[in-house]
Amino acid sequence: MNCQILAKDTPPASILDIILADQCLAGPLSMAEKARFLEISSGYLQHREIVDFFCERLQLDKRPSTISKLLEILKQHPLFISEVHSGFLQDKIVMELLRLPEEADRLAMVKLFKDLSIGDGKQRKFLPLIRDLASRHNTSIADYLEDPSIQAVLSHPEMNKPQKFQHIATFLQRQTNPSSTQAESEFANKIKTLQLPENCTISHSPSFEKDEVTLSITFKNLSSCERWIPILKKNLG
């Protein structure tokens, strides 16, 4: 193993530069690794110097506030830091989570993401939805996620993770639009009373924005459809 010996009077910025170059040889740094490098650098350099020397190489915004934001990562629960380091939590969702004032809420969201194994896109959809619902119920995110309906899904022994995600997403959607959920239920009950043939379905407009409904009929083939066209024209004309 090669070992580089530096002079005692080597400036801290030069030493840090060598450390960063060495670490980058192994691949791109995780957000947690960048935060750790900034933490070490802060012991030797002013934030403005760090911005000038290293932020561009770290692919970070060249503002002093960037350093403070990233250093917050290292103050989080070990699970949070671990998921940032692994890349499971991407940069944007990390910043969104750090805006939550309570650590318990941040940790609850990370655990939910991990339990459902959902990617960055779904994470960014779930966070504002759950945050708003918790606020609407005048409770914390952590307490909201303890809802029996959510916990029953998470602990279900037979559901796989995609199924759990779908059930929780449906539950959250119903919580978001309870009136739409009621309308959906009433619509479904009405359709049942019509006793439609198996090849017929009726659908409503998106979110019941209009009173219009769509009747869909499935035919075995085009010939069967052609025989029905005159009848439909006569009755719908």
pLDDT at 54: 92
pLDDT class for 189, splitting at 50, 70, 90?
confident
pLDDT class for 7, splitting at 50, 70, 90?
confident
Return the SS3 of 213. strand
Distance CA 53, CA 56 (A): 8
Among the listed ranges 104-113, 153-162, 172-181, 225-234, which one has the minimum average pLDDT value?
Answer: 172-181
Dihedral (CA of 153, 156, 159, 161) sign: positive
Write out pLDDT tens, residues 9-24. Answer: 899 899 999 989 988 8
pLDDT at 181: 62
DSSP string spanning 51-62?
Answer: IIIIITTTT--S
Q: What is the pTM of this model?
A: 0.71
Greater model confidence, 102 or 178:
102
Residue pointed to by tokens 């409503």 = 204
How many residues in the chain?
237
Query: Mean of the pLDDT values across residues 34-39?
Result: 96
pLDDT at 25: 86
Phi, psi angles (nearest 5°) of residue 203: -125, 150
pLDDT at 97: 97
pLDDT at 176: 84
Dihedral (CA of 147, 113, 133, 157) sign: negative
pLDDT at 212: 87
Write out pLDDT tens, residues 57-112. Answer: 999 988 878 899 999 999 999 999 999 999 999 999 999 999 999 999 999 999 99
Question: What letter does residue 205 receive in the DSSP assignment?
Answer: P
The answer to whether 102 and 129 have CB atoms below 8 angstroms apart is no
The answer to whether 140 and 102 have CB atoms below 8 angstroms apart is yes
Which H, E and C letters describe 26-39, residue by residue?
Answer: CCCCCHHHHHHHHH
> What whole-number percentage of the chain has pLDDT above 70?
95
Distance CA 118, CA 218 (A): 36
Write out pLDDT tens, residues 215-228. Answer: 999 999 999 899 88
DSSP string spanning 93-124?
Answer: HHHHHHTSS-HHHHHHHHHHHHHHT--HHHHH
pLDDT class for 178, splitting at 50, 70, 90?
low
Which residues, 6 or more positions from 210, have their beta carbon under 8 angstroms from its beta carbon? none
pLDDT at 1: 56
pLDDT at 231: 87
Average pLDDT, the chain: 90
DSSP string spanning 121-185?
Answer: HHHHHHHHHHHHHHHHTTS-HHHHTT-HHHHHHHT-SS--HHHHHHHHHHHHHHHH-HHHHHHHH
pLDDT at 237: 63
> How distant, in Å, are the alpha carbons of 39, 48, 172, 175, 191 from that of 19?
13, 19, 46, 50, 68
Among the listed ranges 153-157, 191-195, 204-208, which one has the minimum average pLDDT value?
Answer: 204-208
Residue 214's H or E segment, with its range, is: strand 213-217
